[in-house]
Structure 1
Amino acid sequence: MMTDTAYTQPMTARIAQFDRSPAKPAKAPERAQEPGKAWLARLSRSGGGSAMGRARAAGLLDGLAAVAFAAGLAFSVDAVASHRGPVTIAGWLLLVIVACLFRALLTYVGAEAGARAAAQAKASLRVDLARSVFGGPRRSAGQALTALVEGVEALDGLFARFLPTKLAAAVLPLVLIAAAAFASPIAAAIMLATLIPFIIAMIFAGTAAAAEARAQFQALERLSGLFLDRVRALPVVLAFQAEGTTTKALGRSASELAERTIRVLRVAFISSAALEFFAALSVALVAVYCGFNLLRLLPFPVPETLDLKRAFFVLALAPEVYAPMRRLAAAYHDRQAAEAAAARLVAFEAPPAKPAVAPLAKAPTIQFDGVTIRYPDADMPALSKFDLTVPAGAIIALVGASGAGKSSLLNLLLDLAPLTEGAILADGEVRANLAADIAWAGQSPLILPASIADNIALSRRDAPRAEIEAAAQAVGLILDRPGGLDFVLDERGSGLSGGERRRLSLARALLKPAPILLLDEPTANLELASETQLLGAIRAAARGRTTLIATHSEAVAALADKVVRL
């Protein structure tokens, strides 16, 4: 018999392990970030679809609209100064108004298309990550949760703002400078020369932001894993009165994340201020040159003499030259956040797609040939060298003590347990995946915040209402509450008794036209009267199907054509 001391010591050590703050990982070498960057580059090229093309086109067209705006403004000012007719002035002012409205429309279209591209890219990535989490190597729940939620959301700004702006920032400044060169080559040279410190400032700011963003994402990942571990160990924490130390450990991790976030914001604000300074300085230099040239007060000779029209055109274009770069700089931290997330997400490689197989046309004969199930890190296999032949249309009851492997055998057919050795044959053929041909009713059916009819239809979303009602009646799911099958449940299924939950799960299985039926403890924890009522529903659901039932109930086992004891 285990003494109190023998029991307390390992549990106390476990609490001490829980309450230690996670060690900060060593800073990864720069080359460790390269796989993440390469993965992000591939995702950037393939993600977003046509919406990304619309966002980029809107950014490029905005530059052409800026040239039209500057030209309309310059010619309208020149027309006013030259005392030209109102028709001429109105014509150029109309061009200014049309250009402004067109730019507003392009801004809306670009923002909407960028948001749509981000949504499409994130939805596709979440599907791949979910496949990796549930079908790939085992990972900690905290790491998987951070990747699926925070990691994917960190890519939103990359697709919504940075990538649409990147092309415009690379092309439009040179296009606008070329347009300005037609009016004033000297002013265009000033704009081109001042782009160099602007770009250098962007590079330095981006490098600093990248390092801080990686540290922040690591802190977020540690806090997520730490919090999940504490929630899982909550009964142990309460039993040993470790609430105080656990709270302090979470507080330290939360404070570390807050400090990392402040550092990211500090770098972002400082870099934005530096870029705004260089942009303002560049515009000021162009303004000073144009002003002194118009007044003929330049202290050095230049090979051009500006008039009011050309000067206004250059002055109106000067802020527009740096506008795409400023928008890119504002979105640059989005790229750094995405790269920090990509360094983690690259490890979530999607498992290879399983070959498509034709659905079974009728109830098959299922054969388990030397099947062994061993879970990762398990000391012993859950099932070893198991042989069984289930005739087509037969009902087989799997009985045995808890842990004998009954549920593991059902999960193996559902592709939720690993097949370590042996093979599964359906009608004499090895089937890589039988999940699509299986109707399943488990111990704790999934309940969604929707009507009872919608919950039944989870197994077949396109089922007509009449078939849903027929399935409910076949399993004896008779509801006397207001609305009947239209009664709306919450996510916990409040309002359904244990027997009604089992019947709902059986109704789902009955509604799905699958040739194989799996039932996992269909009458567990039910009183005798409810179990007796449910036996008829089980018999109705199993009619015409190859059925396996994992159960401890002798009454349920009595329904079977054969009882297999594990």
Structure 2
Amino acid sequence: MTRIKYLGCWLLDLAGAALFSFGIALAVATFARHALAHTPFAPSRADAFELLGPAAMIVGGALLRALGTYAVDRVAVIDAQAAAGTLRASLWPRLLGGVLPAPLASGTSATLAIDHVGAIENRDLRFQPVRMAAGIGPLVVALLVAPASWVASAIMLGTLVFFVVGMILAGTAARRASDRQLAALAALSGLFVDRVTHLPLIRHFGAEQRLSKQVRQATGEVAARTVTVLRAAFLSSAVLEFFSALAIALVAVYCGFSLLGLLPFPAPEHLTLERAFFVLTMAPEFYLPMRRLAAAYHEKQLGEAAEAALAPWEETPAPPVQMPEATFTGLVVEGLRLDLPGVAIAPLGFTLAPHDFVALTGPTGSGKTSTLAAIAGQLALAQGSVTDAQGQPLAPGAIAWAAQRPLLLTGTLRRNLALAAPDADEAAILAAAQRVGLGPLLDARGELDLHLDHAGSGLSGGERRRIGLARAILSARPLMLCDEPTADLDADSAAAITALLAELAQERCLLVATHDAALVAAANREIAL
């Protein structure tokens, strides 16, 4: 349906071009006849009536072209925005809550969700409308020109063959360059966001120079690949301009020599002034669709490269539909295996009772966080299964997650705590905050109306972890996954959190990744990676 709309708009534009060209040709021929007859063109009523037809054609052709351009832009904007909206609606839940094939940096995730979708939208907006016109436009123009001059039509078609070959060669190079440029942009975005997020830690360890060198190398790579893309784009434009100028020049030379009787061979056709001017004014229209295509070709390459980059994530299973919660019967992990970059977790199996308290331990980098993420359904398993005691997949609504770096949204502390339970009243939110030890923060900085930014500026690492733990408690979900809940806390605060977790184990099941020996000792048992 969209193609039919584009075809109708383009035919309207082409009809306007033909009408405009014919009006120009008639007007020029009228002036020429008066000049050859040595009669001045006086502004009499008869002379004005003689020019009324050509003038109406010129004005009508211009209006038709304007209407066609407006129509195709309107159709393109509506369709491109609708397609991009559908893609975002499908992609964003997968990136935010789907089962990912590998952990994804926030910068890379933002590039996929925003920049890549934007590249596809730009392609649909600029390239798709001119794609059909570029395919059949030159042939239709040649057919329109043929009754006036079949030789000029043949000249146009002859230059088209060499142009197509040149564009194929230039387009292949541009495709590879666009793929490499998008990959470099995604890597730079991930690197930049990650380094900005950990800027205080980088400054603490004096790693500014090393990290600056990494950023310089990444930006240099993007710059080099961008230059390569521009070089390919300029090559495509050069090929187009050369053959366009060649076709127009050959048509102009043929028409001029034919009218003057200077052709070095017998004239193959009788060419009048009206026909010659019509052919000359239509000659630029022959390559106009190709020019429009070339102007949008870069968006086409970026859009296709973005589609290829998004393909693995579009195949990622979508988050399951939230179902009514059943009674939690326990957690069963059988033969769990993860094969991630830098992390390979051997087959792992264990069982947790509904009110169990288990510590997951192992050296840094052994995969504790990845194991929790796999149990939570955020990472795809290379092997094995995660179910409840009855062999059924865990419902997402049964799992509460208290991460090392919990998500913070710009807004009040109340809003951030209530993410886990939007319907919770203020008393419940305040009770959860007090329970995890946020009381001193509330007393010192304005209760639940404390304003936070996305980075948690002004909060310590321990306070950010407490916010995540308070959310998990407020959610009242039967399985809690806690990642280093006592890190960044002093001994007394860590002991208080440990006691709280032991208390929570009377109400629900806890699986805690930790290095804290006291927390391990308080757990019912330990699972070492």
User: TM-score when scaled to structure 1?
Assistant: 0.66
Q: Deviations over 1:82-130 (max 9, x none)?
A: 8242764653344134224314414643663575377458747855984
Checking the alignment, whether the CA contact within 8 Å between 2:352 and 2:509 is kept in structure 1 is no
Deviation at residue 507 of structure 1 after TM alignment: 5.0
Deviation at residue 172 of structure 1 after TM alignment: 1.4
Separation in structure 2 between the aligned mates of residue 554 and residue 470 of structure 1, nearest angstrom: 32
Separation in structure 2 between the aligned mates of residue 513 and residue 227 of structure 1, nearest angstrom: 36
Separation in structure 2 between the aligned mates of residue 209 and residue 406 of structure 1, nearest angstrom: 43
1:398 partnered with 2:364: no
1:389 partnered with 2:353: yes
What's 1:187 paired with?
152
Which of 394, 397, 415 aligns to 2:377? It is 415
Separation in structure 1 between the aligned mates of residue 236 and residue 385 of structure 2, nearest angstrom: 61
Change (3 A) 1:95 1:547: same
Deviation at residue 205 of structure 1 after TM alignment: 2.5
Q: Deviations over 1:524-543 (max 9, x none)?
A: 55568867998999899999
Separation in structure 2 between the aligned mates of residue 94 and residue 457 of structure 1, nearest angstrom: 64
1:445 partnered with 2:406: yes
Checking the alignment, whether the CA contact within 8 Å between 2:462 and 2:489 is kept in structure 1 is yes
Which of 269, 287, 297 aligns to 1:322? It is 287
Which of 494, 498, 509 aligns to 2:457? It is 494
Separation in structure 2 between the aligned mates of residue 142 and residue 224 of structure 1, nearest angstrom: 5
Separation in structure 1 between the aligned mates of residue 427 and residue 502 of structure 2, nearest angstrom: 15
Deviation at residue 270 of structure 1 after TM alignment: 3.6
Deviation at residue 171 of structure 1 after TM alignment: 1.4
Separation in structure 1 between the aligned mates of residue 190 and residue 484 of structure 2, nearest angstrom: 33
Deviation at residue 212 of structure 1 after TM alignment: 5.1
Deviation at residue 493 of structure 1 after TM alignment: 1.2
Which residues in structure 2 correspond to 1:62-461 (within 5 Å)?
62-74=13-25, 83-85=47-49, 88=53, 91-106=56-71, 108-109=73-74, 112-113=77-78, 116=81, 119-120=84-85, 123=88, 127=92, 130=95, 135-136=100-101, 158-210=123-175, 213=178, 258-294=223-259, 300-308=266-274, 310-336=275-301, 348=312, 353=317, 359-368=323-332, 371-376=334-339, 384-390=348-354, 395-399=355-359, 410-416=372-378, 425-426=387-388, 428-459=389-420
Deviation at residue 175 of structure 1 after TM alignment: 1.6
Separation in structure 2 between the aligned mates of residue 444 and residue 238 of structure 1, nearest angstrom: 18
Change (3 A) 1:380 1:66: closer
Q: CA RMSD in A?
A: 5.5
Amino acid at match of 1:322: Y
Q: Secondary structure at the match of 2:358?
A: strand
Deviation at residue 329 of structure 1 after TM alignment: 2.7
Separation in structure 2 between the aligned mates of residue 256 and residue 499 of structure 1, nearest angstrom: 38
Deviation at residue 170 of structure 1 after TM alignment: 0.5
Checking the alignment, whether the CA contact within 8 Å between 1:382 and 1:405 is kept in structure 2 is no
Which of 459, 474, 481 aligns to 2:431? It is 474
Checking the alignment, whether the CA contact within 8 Å between 1:69 and 1:100 is kept in structure 2 is no
Q: Deviations over 1:331-370 (max 9, x none)?
A: 3344455666777777x4765637957724344221437x
Amino acid at match of 1:389: A
> Among the aligned pairs, what percent are the same residue?
36
Deviation at residue 192 of structure 1 after TM alignment: 2.2
Q: Deviations over 1:254-297 (max 9, x none)?
A: 65664554344334324422321221221233233444555566
Separation in structure 2 between the aligned mates of residue 268 and residue 210 of structure 1, nearest angstrom: 10
Separation in structure 2 between the aligned mates of residue 180 and residue 549 of structure 1, nearest angstrom: 78
Amino acid at match of 2:17: A
Separation in structure 2 between the aligned mates of residue 81 and residue 165 of structure 1, nearest angstrom: 37
Checking the alignment, whether the CA contact within 8 Å between 2:259 and 2:272 is kept in structure 1 is yes
Q: Secondary structure at the match of 2:339?
A: coil
Checking the alignment, whether the CA contact within 8 Å between 2:17 and 2:61 is kept in structure 1 is no
Checking the alignment, whether the CA contact within 8 Å between 1:51 and 1:117 is kept in structure 2 is no
Aligned length: 500
Q: Secondary structure at the match of 2:356?
A: strand
Separation in structure 1 between the aligned mates of residue 474 and residue 228 of structure 2, nearest angstrom: 55
Separation in structure 1 between the aligned mates of residue 179 and residue 370 of structure 2, nearest angstrom: 40
Checking the alignment, whether the CA contact within 8 Å between 2:359 and 2:520 is kept in structure 1 is no
Change (3 A) 1:214 1:424: closer
User: TM-score when scaled to structure 2?
Assistant: 0.70
Change (3 A) 1:118 1:287: farther
Deviation at residue 176 of structure 1 after TM alignment: 2.0
Change (3 A) 1:512 1:355: closer
What's 1:3 paired with?
none
Deviation at residue 414 of structure 1 after TM alignment: 0.9
Checking the alignment, whether the CA contact within 8 Å between 1:448 and 1:489 is kept in structure 2 is yes
